[in-house]
Amino acid sequence: MNLVVKGACVKFGIFAFGINYITLRACFYIQFVPLIGTGIAVTLQLCIGIDRLIGVIFPFWYKTNGKYVTFKFIIGICCIKSIINVVNAYIGSSAHWEKPVIYVLCLCYTLILLIIWRRKTSIPQNVKKLTISLSVLMSIGLICYILNIFFARVIMPLLNLDAIAFEYFVFPISLALQSMAYGSSAPVLYFCNAQYRSAFRTQFGHQANQVTPVQ
């Protein structure tokens, strides 16, 4: 996420120092590293959810050697997604605007929740609480994504802003929604799971036995 913010600061620096012309090729190379960071951050959220889902469905295999296999698989997916992001940006993203990305996300989340619901009787209580935490995380990410799409497709055309206003006033609003989604992991895990809450308090100097279990 820090890479994305730095990429936005580059554009602000170009604007602040009065550089009125910059080639499209230069723009691509300026955004090259932030694009990689964006691909890793967004994809990693989904991969963490898949990793936890595999741990719930195949607990014995996951404890023996599954976590190492899934870790390599997750790193591979993140790298591939980042490369795809950069290639799409180089070619031009206008050809991909009409892809039903939001429907694919909804389908993935629905399938994950259905699998968890079918196996809820065999899931231990502590794993259920962790699953609730991860479901909240996925919901926050999905809601922020939908708000971004709604803001860009519905509100933006009504405002009729110029390019400068869009880049330096509208874009930070969209970036704030992404930051909310990316930064929600720690608060959600703290408030939704007693084990994580105990770990947080122990790590920051509080007594672990002060934790009140979640009912």
Mean of pLDDT over the chain: 67
* Confidence at residue 208, expressed as pLDDT on a 0 to 100 scale: 45
* Confidence at residue 135, expressed as pLDDT on a 0 to 100 scale: 72
pLDDT digits (tens, 9 = 90+) for 68-97: 788 778 778 777 877 776 676 666 645 544
pTM of the model: 0.39
**How would you class 35 by CB atoms within 10 Å of its CB: exposed for 0-12, middle for 13-18, buried for 19 or more?**
buried
Q: Which residues of 119-138 are buried (b: 16+ CB within 10 A; e: fewer)?
A: eeeebeeebebbbebbbbbb
Cβ neighbours of 61 (radius 10 Å): 13
Q: What percent of the chain has pLDDT over 90?
A: 0
